[in-house]
Structure 1
């Protein structure tokens, strides 16, 4: 089996959170206050939980690290958590996300493993990273420190991807001079990342989970990223 160098990709991805290009600035919110800078009480037609995967699925992305593509396997979905296993040409890992009505947090993650366990949902939390915060309306902002923050900069933004067209919310992440935009669709989660470093977009969504048997089958899926 091809050796896999697995490293944690959270904060992406996918309400993986953010993609691998922001993993170099990964934040541990257990040590940093996630102050919500805009806590408007005006009504929103959406809630944070609308923008997470609603059922198991396989998401294939182009672009990403060295333009080699990325596969995200959402293989566990419950009422209050979901699990994503991520693999690209250089790194991969597992992320567990906690779902609340108006808040999504990454609560567990691992990297550098060549063997995936069936489920990580009940593992002891090792992260507390805020991924999405309500109200889901333009201008909602949350910070990690004085230079690093996220803001909802668009609602009902139409995004075209090779996998189809999606009505999304746009989240802009800034850290000093660095900026990226992530687009999330209802019931699916992340569908596109716009940035100068490792942009990516969804090229396929598949709900046939039987095809995921082992890491070799994940590598087969990676081949689709480069077509």
Structure 2
């Protein structure tokens, strides 16, 4: 059996860092991107016996994305996973500066789809294209106040992923939006009920179980459907 190859976009910390490590620990070869060299990702790569390698990428830069595409020419990915996202706090939407709104929407909604469009040609037939979403992006579950901009960015991400899936409905690839639960990350905060080490193995279970199933699904870490 050929080794599976994954590309994880946004793996310097938090969920992405643990995702890259978990995949490598399960026998995948992993290419992980970061904006800054060093840190725990570098240490993991050095200890991985070649299973984990690092590429530099600022996801919001079309130029850097094109350069990454060139560097990865000839690779065939079994999994392309876009993890990167930001949060700028809990402001009511009328208090959000225009520049902040633009920054969050570009990072959380526009840039992940740019990544998919730029790199989809590297994904093997029957491979998986996945994006880290959130239950916060579920419109039907938005019944509690707070974090309006972040919620809107994840809802926009989900809608753009629906458009992507419609455009490439016949490409045979698995397409997933993943809700990993509320985790103790810089974005999720220290009081979240889960840690990445608790949630990410379940996320990888879902990725592996869904491999080869065409179409788009919005799933939580248990493999259950999250309502749009």
Q: TM-score, normalised by structure 1?
A: 0.34
Which structure has more relative contact order (CA 8 Å, sep 6+)? It is 1
Q: Which structure has more helix as a fraction of its residues?
A: 2
